[in-house]
Amino acid sequence: MENDKIKFFKKRLLEERESTLETIDLMDKNSGDRQEFSTELSLYDNHPADIGTEVFIQAQTNNLRGNEEVLLDKIDDALVKVESGEYGKCEDCNKYIDEERLDIIPFASKCIDCEKENSDNSIQGSQG
């Protein structure tokens, strides 16, 4: 891959990383507001449905935060590959990933064929 393209993708990855960190930080700040509800001295005056809703929202927030952390790991892995000269190569077949795919998913670690094969295998494995 050309040096200019690598610089372009590195910039995109760094922007994506910053955005993801901001999202995680925002989730953490909003989570703090929600914790006040669950740490009240008495939950006696709260309706059970309110408590159930709060538990659901907290679980949903935790799942979304987990998704952002996985995304951050993928971005960090891609940045390591940029520095080592391995960026843009499929981790399964070692062929170069199409630039169009990297334009859409700059942290993609597999070419579309290997990703599709993995996806098909996981679907077949869950059906059998």
Tens digit of each residue's pLDDT (9 = 90 or more) over 31-41: 765 555 555 54
Query: Between 103 and 58, whose confidence is greater?
Result: 103
pLDDT of res. 49: 74
Count CA atoms within 13 Å of residue 25 on its CB side: 6
C-beta atoms surrounding 97 within 10 Å: 23
pLDDT of res. 127: 64
- Return d(Cα 17, Cα 2) in angstroms, integer: 22
pLDDT, mean of residues 94-103: 96
Would you call 89 helix, strand, or coil by DSSP? strand
- Whole-prediction pTM: 0.77
pLDDT of res. 12: 97
For the stretch 44-94, pLDDT in tens is 566 677 778 878 888 888 899 999 999 999 999 999 999 999 999 999 999
H or E element at residue 37 = helix 3-38
Distance between terminal CA atoms of the chain?
Answer: 40
Q: Are 109 and 77 in contact (CB under 8 A)?
A: yes
DSSP 95: P
